[in-house]
Amino acid sequence: MPSDLERAMETLITVFHRYAGTEGCATSLSRKELRQLMEKELSTFLKSQKDPAAVDRIMKDLDANGDGEVNFEEFVALVVGLSIACEQMYQLHMTKLGVKKN
C-alpha cells in the first residue's frame, strides 16, 4: 500500500498529465492548459490573486527554458513554491496560537 507521500506524488503526476497535451505537446502545459489547471486545481490560490494577469506572470516565471510551455519539472517548481508559502503560513498561524515546536 502506498504511503501518503507516494500518493501525493502520484496525484501531482496525474493532475499534470490530465491537462498537458489537450492541445499541442503531450508532455507540457501550454498557457491555456496551465490556466485551466490553475482554475480547476488551484482555484483558492487563483482567487486570492487580485491581478487578472497572474497566470501569465506565473507562466513566464515557470518557463525556465523559454519554450513557451511548462514541462513537469517546471510545474513542480510551482507546486514547491506554493507548498513552501503554505507551510510558512501554517507556521505563522501556529505561532499566533501559541503552539510550540517539539
User: Helices in 1-71 by DSSP H: which ranges?
Assistant: 4-19, 31-41, 43-48, 54-62
Residue type for 33, please?
Answer: E
CB 50 within 8 A of CB 91: no
Q: So what's the pLDDT on residue 23? A: 86
What ranges do the domains of the chain cover?
Answer: 4-97
* Backbone torsions φ then ψ of 28, nearest 5 degrees: -150, 165
More confident residue, 24 or 50: 24
Strand, helix or coil for residue 70: strand
1-10, 62-71, 84-93: which is most confident: 1-10
Count CA atoms within 13 Å of residue 46 on its CB side: 16
pTM over 0.85: no
pLDDT at 51 over 80: no
8 Å CB contact between 55 and 92: no
Superfamily (CATH H level) for 4-97: EF-hand (1.10.238.10)
- The contacts of residue 22 (CB under 8 Å, 6+ apart) are 33, 36
pLDDT average, residue stretch 48-74: 84
Residue predicted with more confidence, 54 or 67: 67
